[in-house]
Each structure stands twice: as C-alpha cells, then as structure tokens.
Amino acid sequence: MSSYYSVIHVLKKSNEGDVVNLRGWVYRLRWLGGKVFIVLRDHSGIIQCVVDKDEARRFGKEISELGIEASIIIGGTVRFDKRAPGGKEIKVTELRVVGVSNNFPIKGGEGIDYLLDNRHLWIRSRRLTSIFKVKHTMLKGLREYFSSNEWWEVTPPILTMSAVEGGATLFPVDFFGRKAYLSQSAQFYLETLIFSLEKVWSVTTSFRAERSRTRRHLYEYTHLEAEAAWMGMKEMMTVVEEMVKAGVKKILDERLDELETVKRDITKLEQVLSNRFDVITYDEAVELLREKGVKIEWGEDFGADEERVLTQQFDTPIFVTMFPRKIKSFYMKVSEDNPELVYGFDLLAPEGYGEIVGGSVREDKYDTLLNRIREEELNPKDYEWYLDLRKYGSVPHSGFGLGIERMLMWISGLDHIRDATPYPRFRDRLYP
Ligand code: NSS
C-alpha cells in the first residue's frame, strides 16, 4: 500500500469504486452476520469500513487483534451508502493492525476523576479533539488579525523577577539559588518593546497560583497579549473588538462541524459579528447589577457571579471601563477627571461567561507611577527597569491580555475551563 488519504478527503472527494488506503485508529467495532464493521478515526474524521464475510475469513488473524483504539491500515474501495455516517463507506480489501489495543481503559460513562487520571487517553475523544481544533483556528484568526494590521509578534520570557499582577498568585522557582517566578503576564516586557517596535503582541503561557478553584481559572493558561505605543483606550478597545471578531469569524468559516460536535448554538456566535460591542462604565455596571437585585458596594470588584448577571443582559461581548483605582493594578493610568478611577477596560463574554480580556492605558509619567508603586506598598527597586521606560522617551501607550482558554470556553460553550486545554493542572493532581 503506498499513499494514504485522510478520512475527510475520502468523504469529500472520492467517487464510487475508487481504491483508497487509509490509516488511523478503531473508533467503533461490531460484528453483524459474519461481517465486521470498523469505524476508522483519523485526525480529520470518521468513516465506516466494512469487512465482508469472505474477507473476514481471510483476515481472521488481523480481525482477532482488533480492539477499540488499535491503530490500523486499511485498503479498499469506496461505496456510496446513505446509511453510513458521511454517506460513504469502505469495502475492505486490505487490513493490517499496526498497534494492538487490548481493553482500552475508557469505555464511556466514567466519572470525571477517572477521566482526568486518564487524560492522556481521553484526549483522543471526539469532543476534546473538536475543541482543540477550534482553538487552533481561533489562534489562527487572531494571528491573522495582528499580521494584517502591522503588529510585530515577539517572544517574551517566562522566568521573571517581578510581579505584574500582584504577589499573591506568583509561583516561585529556584533560579540557581535565587528566587525567580513564573510569569503572570508578559505585559512589562511588551512595554519595553514598544519603544522600538511600537505595536507588539505575543502568545505565552501565564501562571497564576489562584487561591480558589473555579470553573474559569487555570493555574497555567495561554495568554495573548498586545501593547502599543501612542494608543489610547478607545483605540485599544477597537483593536480588541476587531481581534475578537476576527477570531470568531475564522471559527464560523472553518469549524462548523466541530462546533456541532460540541453542540454549540452558532446563532449566538453569529450575533457577535453583526453588532458593535456595548460599552458601559463600572458605575453603570454597578447600577445595572443593583437593578437586578445584586448587592454590591461601589468599589467592590466583580466576581464570576456579578459578571454572569451583567453579561446575561447582552447578546455580544461588552466592555466595562473606568474602574475604581483601588481594585486595579498599579500600572493603570489614573483618570484626569476623577483620581479615584483608572483607564482600565475588561471585555466580558456574553451568556454568563464573563471576563476574557483585561486591558488598560498604562501610567506613562515617572512620578505618578512611582507614587502608585509606593501606594501599593511595592518595592520600587523591583520595578527600576519598568520605571526607566518613563525616563527615556516615555509615550502614552495601552495594552491588554486575552485568556485564550477563557475565549475558547465561551466559543465552544464549555461549562468548565479544564476542557479548553489538553492538560489542565490541578492542585491535587499534576498528572499526566
Ligand atoms: O490579570 S489580567 O486581567 N490582566 C493582565 O494580566 C494584564 N497584565 C494583561 C495585559 O494587559 N497585558 O489577565 C488577562 C486575562 C484575563 O482577562 C483572563 O481572560 C485571563 O487573562 N486569565 C486567566 N485565564 C485562565 N485562568 C486564569 N487563572 C486566568 N487569569 C487571568
């Protein structure tokens, strides 16, 4: 057997009677009236392969070795059959078992702990495969957005010496006898790069030692971040909106089958493309929440519950802007009109999903930034190089971070973020 076709190629392009070779894994297997029905799975899809009675006798040894998830090579002719999934099946004339699979540990109906222990095998599932394909396409759409709008992609470090988002969620590591940390955000490094490249972005892994375990927090997640010189808040919010729409559009263009597999209502996603994202201020959000019966004091941060109530009022993602200074990071620029507020913005995904982007205008004045660092009781020594950027050719600038798994969770309609990444880390389980 020489060249191989993918399942999707056979389903879409082959004609009745074509002779094809396929390779993949046994997805389903059953015997019926002397025939063997093998549903073969490869990266692109599934197809039914039928070993007729006579052939079944000829391939006795191979068939005896077949099991769910065994890897196989099949040769045969294409038959059109309305009853087969995809409308076509293969009449098998060649069969080879490459790797046996006796008693595959996942049979269906297992509990979540068992499945997480067997994540390395569970990731073969159609559901997870579909989610990872959506993730791929989402990243592709986002990347294309940046490429076609003259942003530079850069590669900041993961080993760092300082906190971007507060010390409480830092993971320490031993760096040759000195204490270093795993990055929470590439933001400060991106800020250093705008003085030469002006508009930069990156995808890195960020780490957060989150204290509570929730449906939308990972300890290790994929962080897309962007930073641009000369941009104010409005411009940066436009970037975020266009970028998110580019990601959603790419997925709707290319991943409808996968969205169907994960049972996502795509009309909800289509709405996102046809409307401008609403913008409300923190003050307005607090008012809206109170109208909905949520008890919240001005100055309190929104948690998952508040964000759920807020976003259920809208069909598209919404921006919340102008947050109280005391609940946001020290680097956010303080409002000229009201020193209690900062130029920060969050993008909240609809249908209750909540925050997927956090961004702001950065404080670009040396003295103000130094005061903010002191006010937060941080050590200015730790931020010397960051402060330097305000000494040598400072510019107004803004940036944001998008949680890729958060966005994927929303796009795919997941009720838990763990399935948005192949290997979610858990406090009590660093396995596999
Ligand atoms: O803490 S953020 O809101 N903002 C920053 O880290 C900025 N320094 C980013 C920047 O401006 N360059 O995190 C940004 C996003 C947030 O909106 C979430 O979507 C996601 O990162 N995020 C997370 N996703 C999954 N799990 C956890 N624990 C998590 N924390 C933040």
Q: Class of 119-420 per CATH?
A: alpha beta
Q: How far apart are CA 217 and CA 167, in angstroms?
A: 17
> Could you write out the DSSP letters of every residue in 19-75?
EEEEEEEEEEEEEETTEEEEEEEETTEEEEEEE-HHHHHHTHHHHHH--TT-EEEEE
Range list for CATH 3.30.930.10 in the chain: 119-420
What's the gap in Å between 245 CA and the centre of ligand 1? Answer: 19
Q: What are phi and psi of 178, to 5 degrees?
A: -110, 155
d(CA 303, CA 296): 11
Q: Taking the mean position of all CA atoms in its chain, how far away is CA 270? A: 19
Test site for ligand 1: of 151, 188, 221, most ligand atoms within 8 A of the Cβ: 221
pLDDT score recorded for residue 148 = 98
Mutating to test ligand 1, I would choose from 142, 154, 223 the residue with most ligand atoms within 8 A of its C-beta, which is 223
CA–CA distance, 413 with 262 (Å, rounded to integer): 8
pLDDT at 2: 62
Please identify, by atom number, the ligand 1 atom nearest to the C-alpha of residue 210: 28
List the pLDDT tens digit at each of the 432 positions of the chain.
Answer: 569 999 999 999 999 999 999 999 999 999 999 999 999 999 999 999 999 999 999 999 999 999 999 999 999 999 999 999 899 999 999 999 999 999 999 999 999 999 999 999 999 999 999 999 999 999 999 999 999 999 999 999 999 998 999 989 999 999 999 999 999 999 999 999 999 999 999 999 999 999 988 999 999 999 999 999 999 999 999 999 999 999 999 999 999 999 999 999 999 999 999 999 999 999 999 999 999 999 999 999 999 999 999 999 999 999 999 999 999 999 999 999 999 999 999 999 999 999 999 999 999 999 999 999 999 999 999 999 999 999 999 999 999 999 999 999 999 999 999 999 999 999 988 899
Report residue 93: phi and psi, to 5°.
-120, -15
Of 177, 297, 251, the residue nearest 411 (C-alpha): 251
What is the 263 CA–ligand 1 centroid distance (Å)? 27
Q: What DSSP state is assigned to residue 334?
A: B
Question: Comparing C-alpha atoms, which of 426, 382, 4 is closest to residue 215?
Answer: 426
Label the pairing between strands 278-281 and 318-324: parallel
Give the predicted TM-score (pTM) of the model: 0.97
Listed in order, the ranges of the chain carrying CATH 2.40.50.140 are 7-99
DSSP count for the chain of H helices, then E strands: 15, 16
User: CATH assignment of 7-99?
Assistant: 2.40.50.140
Label residue 292 left, alpha or beta by phi (over 0 means left) and psi (-120 to 50 means alpha): alpha
CB 317 within 8 A of CB 277: yes
CB of 187 within 6 A of ligand 1: the answer is yes
Residue with tokens 């009590």: 428
Q: Is 156 left (phi over 0), alpha (psi -120 to 50) or beta?
A: beta
